[in-house]
Chains A and B, each alone.
Chain A
Amino acid sequence: MLADVGAIALLLAFAAAVYAVGAAVVGARGGPRDALWTASARNALIAVWPLLTVSCGAMLWLLLAGDFQIEYVASVPSRAMPAYLKAAALWGGQAGSLLFWAWVAGTFSALVMLRKWDADRPLLPYVIAISAVTELFFIGLVIFVETPFSKLGFVPADGSGLNPLLRHPGMIIHPPTLYLGYVGFTVPYAFGMAALISGRLSDEWIRASRRWALIAWLFLSLGLVLGGRWAYDVLGWGGYWAWDPVENAALLPWLTGTAFLHSIIIQEKRGMLKAWNMVLITLTYGLVILGTFLTRSGIISSVHAFARSAIGPLFFGLIAVMSVFSIRWLLLRRDSLRAEHRLDAILSRETAFLLNNLLFLTITASVLVGTLFPLITELVAGEKITLRVGWYNQVVGPQLAALVLLMGMCPLLSWRRASARRLGRAFWLPFLLSVLLVALLALRGLRSAGALAGLGMSAFVGLTTLLEFWYGARARRRSKGENYLVALNQVIVRNRRRYGGLMVHLAVVLMAIGIAGSYFLQQETQATVRRGETLSLGGFTLLYEGLSERRESDELVISEATVSVYRDQQLVTVLRPRRDFYPLSGQPVTIPAVRSTVSEDFYVILVGWEQMGEDQATFKVYLNPLINWLWAGSVLFVVGTLVAAWPDRRARPALVSAYRPSAVIARRTSSA
Chain B
Amino acid sequence: MSGHRVPYAPATGCSPAGQGSVARREAPALSTLSVRLLAGCLVLLLLVLSWLVPLVSADGGPTQDEVNAVARKLFCPVCENTPLDVCPTEACQQWREVIRSQLAEGRSEAEILDYFAHLYGDSVLAEPPPRQWAAWLLPVLIVVAGTSALAYWLRRWARPVAVSVEETRAESIPESDPYLERLERELAEWDR
Residues of A in contact with B (beta carbons under 8 Å apart): 235-238, 242-245, 271-272, 301-303, 339-343, 345-346, 351, 354-355, 358, 361-362, 365-366, 369-370, 373-374, 376-377, 382-391, 394-395, 399, 479, 524-528, 557, 559, 579, 581, 586-590, 605, 607-610, 613, 616-618, 620, 654-656, 658-659, 662-665, 668
Residue contacts A-B, CB under 8 angstroms, 27 given: A242-B81, A244-B80, A244-B81, A339-B157, A341-B166, A342-B157, A343-B154, A354-B153, A362-B139, A362-B142, A362-B146, A366-B138, A369-B142, A388-B125, A389-B126, A390-B127, A526-B65, A557-B4, A581-B4, A587-B6, A610-B54, A618-B1, A620-B86, A655-B186, A659-B180, A662-B177, A662-B180
Where chain A touches its partner, the secondary structure class is mixed
Task: Give the chain B neighbours of A608 by CB distance below 8 A.
Answer: 1-3, 93
Q: A384-B20, A390-B127, A662-B173 are in contact. Are A342 and B161 (CB under 8 A)?
A: yes
Produce 1/0 per residue, B154-188, CB < 8 A to A. 10011111001110011001000101101100110
- Interface residue B135 (Cβ < 8 Å from any Cβ of A): yes
Distance to closest chain A CB from B156 (angstroms): 9
Choose one: B65, B123, B149; the contact of A525 (CB below 8 Å): B65
Produce 1/0 per residue, B86-102, CB < 8 A to A. 10110001000000000
Pair B180/A665 contact, Cβ less than 8 Å = yes
Q: How large is the interface on B (under 10, 10 to 19, 20 to 34, 35 or more residues)?
A: 35 or more
Closest to A304 in B: B80
Distance to closest chain B CB from A640 (angstroms): 23
Pair A373/B135 contact, Cβ less than 8 Å = yes
* Alpha-carbon separation in the docked complex, A560 to B89 (Å): 17
Task: Give the chain A neighbours of B65 by CB distance below 8 A.
Answer: 524-527
Pair B88/A391 contact, Cβ less than 8 Å = no
Pair A354/B154 contact, Cβ less than 8 Å = yes
Pair B154/A586 contact, Cβ less than 8 Å = no
Among B139, B147, B182: residue with most chain A CB under 10 A = B139
Task: Give the chain A neighbours of B125 by CB distance below 8 A.
Answer: 388, 390
- Interface residue B132 (Cβ < 8 Å from any Cβ of A): yes
Choose one: A383, A663, A664; the contact of B23 (CB below 8 Å): A383
Distance to closest chain A CB from B191 (angstroms): 9
* Alpha-carbon separation in the docked complex, A246 to B82 (Å): 14
* Alpha-carbon separation in the docked complex, A365 to B161 (Å): 33
Task: Give the chain B neighbours of A366 by CB distance below 8 A.
Answer: 138-139, 142
* Alpha-carbon separation in the docked complex, A390 to B129 (Å): 11
Task: Give the chain A neighbours of B170 by CB distance below 8 A.
Answer: 664
* Alpha-carbon separation in the docked complex, A609 to B177 (Å): 86
Pair B88/A579 contact, Cβ less than 8 Å = yes
Task: Give the chain B neighbours of A391 by CB distance below 8 A.
Answer: 126-128, 135
Pair B6/A388 contact, Cβ less than 8 Å = no
Choose one: B3, B89, B139; the contact of A559 (CB below 8 Å): B3
* Alpha-carbon separation in the docked complex, A355 to B143 (Å): 12
Closest to B77 in A: A386
* Alpha-carbon separation in the docked complex, A581 to B3 (Å): 9
- Assuming A242-B82, A526-B85, what are 11 further A-B pairs, CB within 8 angstroms? A301-B80, A342-B158, A361-B146, A370-B135, A382-B23, A386-B75, A391-B135, A620-B85, A654-B186, A655-B187, A655-B190
* Alpha-carbon separation in the docked complex, A361 to B64 (Å): 42
Distance to closest chain A CB from B124 (angstroms): 9
* Alpha-carbon separation in the docked complex, A427 to B91 (Å): 54
Pair B158/A346 contact, Cβ less than 8 Å = yes
